[in-house]
Amino acid sequence: MKSVAIVSGKGGTGKTSFTAALSVIAARKLRIVVADCDVDAPNLTRMLLSGNSEVKEEKTFSSEKAEIDKRLCKKCYACINTCNFGALRIGKDGFPEVQKIYCEGCGACTLVCKEGAIRIARINNGKIVYGKSKYGFCFVGGKLEIGESGSGKIVAEVKKKACEIAKNENAELLLVDSSPGIGCPVIASLSGVETAIIVTEPSISALSDMEKVLKVIEHFGIKPYTVVNKASINPKLKKKILEVCSKRKIEVIAELPFDEVFIKSVNSLTPLPLLTQKYDKVFEKILHCFLE
Amino acid sequence: MIICILSGKGGAGKTFVACSLAKKLSRFSKVLLVDADVECPNASLFFEKKLADAKTVSGFVPEIDEKRCKLCYACAKVCRKNAIFYAPGKVPVIFEELCNSCGACIIVCKQNAIKKRKKKIGEVKKYEVSENLKILEGILREGEEEPMPVVKELLKEVGKISREFDFVIIDAPPGVKCNALACIEACNLAIVVAEATTFGIADAELAIRACELLRKEFFIVLNKLREENEIKEFVKAYGEKIVCKIPFSTEILHAYSAGRLPEINEIKLLVKKAVKGK
């Protein structure tokens, strides 16, 4: 099975609309599984599973946080001095208080607490969802609870489920829609795939971010391709992107213009090929490129 | 006055709003623009600036002194990141990429065989745009997983110098995970930039919930507005919270893609709101 991650660095370049369209076109010819790994803003899930009543859900417990038992605590504050994440502070009642946003659940505090007043508890930090999309292929997505950490771990669970389903279905292709950025969830999205498509746009921000995400992709030895989306918004910068790609020997496998039909696709939660056939050939060509 | 700009969705227009607001406010007051999207910081691209200061953000990785190690493997057993691997009879091996520098292994090692080795994970840069406008930018090093230590270092720096400024504008990272929440927590007022699309609205609602969770006052900017019909339920639900509506415009798109900040009237409404809030 081939596996491809769709990344961008910058948000809003069109990763999700692109992945939705590519999925629908790919599913016409291949057995595919699609994974939404943007667990912070799971919009592909919104699009592909909207109106689907047979969606299964599983809670994830991939976050761990310290919990202090005030009955045992002697207020020695050893925990506060030990925490390398600044996640403990003195609360209003004088007891140490865990700031959940910062706690990594590492357990260092439990090691220094002589009273045994701290334990590490598993926290429900999100969920994964899966089912068959309206368009015939299997789909897995995830959602992180607001303010939680461990998005990389949920991404890993989404991908694990996707691989499991892919194996059962004997799938030929796995498509992974990543989150923006270059951190933990993006690295988790890239882990184990052999190909990455960078969806970029001709803007100075997207160009700068493309180079950052490219460094990460190359760091992990993954083969990158580029798609220039909204190519018509700035011809000068489009040229620049093509130059950067050519210099780094990265194949630009498609250029898509700025077209209102993409907005319509997002707003109606309908993948592009169901609204217009004019880009079908472009997506078929993209598929062909990395399936070769 | 510390204002945090967030959105949930990437590409909704956070950086555009943050930069435009900072630029406008800096005409009559002292402004610090903080780029907390440390994975992909872009705010400084929109200004002519001079680098004034750069600080390395370091974490540490543990290093095992083979001579001292008695092969008890307490370090490997305590590590919740599974970053310490051991084979019986051999000195444990540390996988730097998995380590989050918590220090638990150092605490449990009775032989004192584990030491800290410094490791660069990012940078905090300070730029000078004008007498009135400075930029503080956090940058995560490529290949590093965890942006939070850089965000924290950045916010610490903000805490140190925020008194020198009338306004601090924080351009938050997309999403609503812990690093975005740390930015919201640091502010007095949050501005949620909602891209006026089905995706944008859904993600903006997450950002709004994050503000409510942290009990922060917030208001909403609708960006790239085409037809209000598409998002009428959102507009109905948050009526008075929506303080400005920026229409979709190819002129803005073109200018912004090239690194320019076009002057738009809607930003004036935001400036008024910010000044009033102060």
Query: Among partner residues A43, A104, A151, which is closest to B199 by beta-carbon distance?
Result: A43
Give A195's pLDDT tier (boundaries 50, 70, 90).
Answer: very high
Query: Do A215 and A97 reside in the same domain of the chain?
Result: no
Q: How wide is the angle at C-alpha A201 spanned by C-alphas B121 and B33, nearest 5°?
A: 50
CA–CA dist B27, B22 (Å, integer): 9
- Is there a contact between A128 and A141 (Cβ–Cβ < 8 Å)? yes
Give A62's pLDDT tier (boundaries 50, 70, 90).
Answer: confident
> How many Cα neighbours within 13 Å face the side chain of B179?
29
Domains of chain B, by residue range, sit at 2-47+129-277, 59-120
Q: How far is A290 from chain B (nearest CA, A)?
A: 24
Query: Do A169 and A257 reside in the same domain of the chain?
Result: yes
- Is there a contact between B106 and B116 (Cβ–Cβ < 8 Å)? yes
CB contact (8 A) between residue A258 and residue B174: no
For A258, the closest chain B residue by CA position comes to B250
> What is residue B116's predicted lDDT score, i.e. its pLDDT?
95
Pairs across A and B, CB distance < 8 A:
186
- Segment B107-112 shows an average pLDDT of 96
Chain B residues whose CB is inside 8 A of the A107 CB are: 78, 80, 102, 104
CB contact (8 A) between residue B177 and residue A149: yes
Give B96's pLDDT tier (boundaries 50, 70, 90).
Answer: confident
Candidates A170, A160, A121; CA nearest to A140 is A160
Place of tokens 């709003």: B17
Place of tokens 């789909």: A139
Q: How far is B273 from chain A (nearest CA, A)?
A: 27
CB contact (8 A) between residue B143 and residue A216: yes
For B173, the closest chain A residue by CA position comes to A181
- Segment B260-270 shows an average pLDDT of 93
Last residue of a domain, one of A103, A123, A143: A123
Chain B residues whose CB is inside 8 A of the A84 CB are: 101-103
Reading the block at residue A224, the tokens are 């990158």
CA–CA dist B108, A112 (Å, integer): 9
CATH number for position A48: 3.40.50.300
- Is there a contact between A12 and B11 (Cβ–Cβ < 8 Å)? yes
For the stretch A124-174, pLDDT in tens is 999 999 999 989 899 999 999 988 877 888 999 999 999 999 999 999 999
Query: Do A82 and A44 reside in the same domain of the chain?
Result: no
Candidates A205, A276, A242; CA nearest to A10 is A205
- Is there a contact between A19 and B17 (Cβ–Cβ < 8 Å)? no
Higher pLDDT, B145 or B3: B3
| The CA-based dihedral angle spanning residues B238, B242, B246, B248, taken in that order and rounded to the nearest 10 degrees | 0
> What is residue A101's predicted lDDT score, i.e. its pLDDT?
85
Return the CATH superfamily for domain B2-47+129-277. P-loop containing nucleotide triphosphate hydrolases (3.40.50.300)
Query: Among partner residues B9, B80, B142, which is closest to A216 by beta-carbon distance?
Result: B142
Q: Which of A63, A84, A109 to mutate to test the interface with B (most CBs of B within 10 A)?
A: A84
Identify the burial level of B160 via C-beta atoms within 10 angstroms of its C-beta, where 0-12 means exposed, 13-18 middle and 19 or more buried.
exposed
ipTM: 0.91
CB contact (8 A) between residue B202 and residue A147: no
Whether pLDDT at B229 is above 90: no
Query: Do A163 and A240 reside in the same domain of the chain?
Result: yes
Interface residue B215 vs chain A (CB under 8 A):
no
| The CA-based dihedral angle spanning residues B249, B250, B255, B261, taken in that order and rounded to the nearest 10 degrees | 10
Candidates A208, A200, A257; CA nearest to A225 is A200
> What is residue B228's predicted lDDT score, i.e. its pLDDT?
83
Last residue of a domain, one of A92, A108, A123: A123
Amino acid making up residue B88: P
> What is residue B58's predicted lDDT score, i.e. its pLDDT?
93
Query: Among partner residues A43, A179, A234, which is closest to B257 by beta-carbon distance?
Result: A234
Q: How far is A8 from chain B (nearest CA, A)?
A: 10
- Segment A7-15 shows an average pLDDT of 97
Whether pLDDT at B193 is above 90: yes
Query: Do A94 and A167 reside in the same domain of the chain?
Result: no
Amino acid making up residue B8: G
Query: Do A199 and A102 reside in the same domain of the chain?
Result: no
For A126, the closest chain B residue by CA position comes to B177
Residue B224 CA: distances (Å) to CA of B15, B99, B197:
14, 41, 8
Chain A residues whose CB is inside 8 A of the B100 CB are: 104, 106
Q: How far is A177 from chain B (nearest CA, A)?
A: 14
CB contact (8 A) between residue B143 and residue A64: no
Query: Do A262 and A182 reside in the same domain of the chain?
Result: yes
CB contact (8 A) between residue B42 and residue A179: no
Whether pLDDT at B277 is above 90: no
Query: Do A109 and A250 reside in the same domain of the chain?
Result: no
Whether pLDDT at B38 is above 90: yes
User: SS3 letters for chain B?
Assistant: CEEEEECCCCCCCHHHHHHHHHHHHCCCCCEEEEECCCCCCCHHHHCCCEEEEEEEEEEEEEEECCCCCCCCCHHHHHCCCCCEECCCCCCCEECHHHCCCCCHHHHHCCCCCEEEEEEEEEEEEEEECCCCEEEEEEEECCCCCCCHHHHHHHHHHHHHHHHHCCEEEEECCCCCCHHHHHHHHCCCEEEEEEECCHHHHHHHHHHHHHHHHCCCEEEEEEEEECCHHHHHHHHHHHHHHEEEEEECCHHHHHHHHCCCCCCCHHHHHHHHHHHHHC
For the stretch B156-173, pLDDT in tens is 999 999 999 999 999 999
Residues with Cβ within 8 Å of residue B203, at least 6 apart in sequence:
A41, A43, B7, B8, B9, B12, B195
Computed over every residue of chain A, the mean pLDDT equals 95
> What is residue B98's predicted lDDT score, i.e. its pLDDT?
82
Query: Do A145 and A188 reside in the same domain of the chain?
Result: yes
Identify the burial level of B85 via C-beta atoms within 10 angstroms of its C-beta, where 0-12 means exposed, 13-18 middle and 19 or more buried.
middle
- Segment B35-46 shows an average pLDDT of 98
- Is there a contact between A175 and A24 (Cβ–Cβ < 8 Å)? no
Candidates B146, B78, B87; CA nearest to B114 is B78
CA–CA dist B78, B75 (Å, integer): 5
Query: Do A179 and A230 reside in the same domain of the chain?
Result: yes
CATH number for position A102: 3.30.70.20
Q: Which domain, by its residues, includes A233? A: 2-61+125-291
- Segment B173-177 shows an average pLDDT of 93
> What is residue B219's predicted lDDT score, i.e. its pLDDT?
95
Whether pLDDT at B278 is above 80: no
- B59-120 fold: Alpha-Beta Plaits (3.30.70)
CA–CA dist B33, B258 (Å, integer): 20
Whether pLDDT at B36 is above 90: yes
Give B19's pLDDT tier (boundaries 50, 70, 90).
Answer: very high
Whether pLDDT at A52 is above 80: no
Query: Do A239 and A264 reside in the same domain of the chain?
Result: yes
Query: Among partner residues A9, A106, A208, which is closest to B80 by beta-carbon distance?
Result: A106
Query: Among partner residues B140, B144, B258, which is closest to A204 by beta-carbon distance?
Result: B258
Structural domain count of chain A: 2
Amino acid making up residue B142: E
For the stretch A75-111, pLDDT in tens is 999 999 999 999 999 999 999 999 988 899 999 999 9
Chain A residues whose CB is inside 8 A of the B101 CB are: 84
CA–CA dist A122, A64 (Å, integer): 5
Q: Can you state the angle between helices B14-25 and B265-277, rounded to 10 degrees?
A: 70
Interface residue B269 vs chain A (CB under 8 A):
no
Residue B193 CA: distances (Å) to CA of A78, B7, B21, B238, B249:
42, 5, 13, 13, 16
CB contact (8 A) between residue A180 and residue B209: no
CA–CA dist B32, A290 (Å, integer): 45
For the stretch A233-268, pLDDT in tens is 999 999 999 999 999 999 999 999 999 999 999 999
Computed over every residue of chain B, the mean pLDDT equals 95
Whether pLDDT at A53 is above 80: no
Last residue of a domain, one of A100, A123, A146: A123
Place of tokens 């009543």: A53
For the stretch B42-81, pLDDT in tens is 999 999 999 999 999 999 999 999 999 999 999 999 999 8
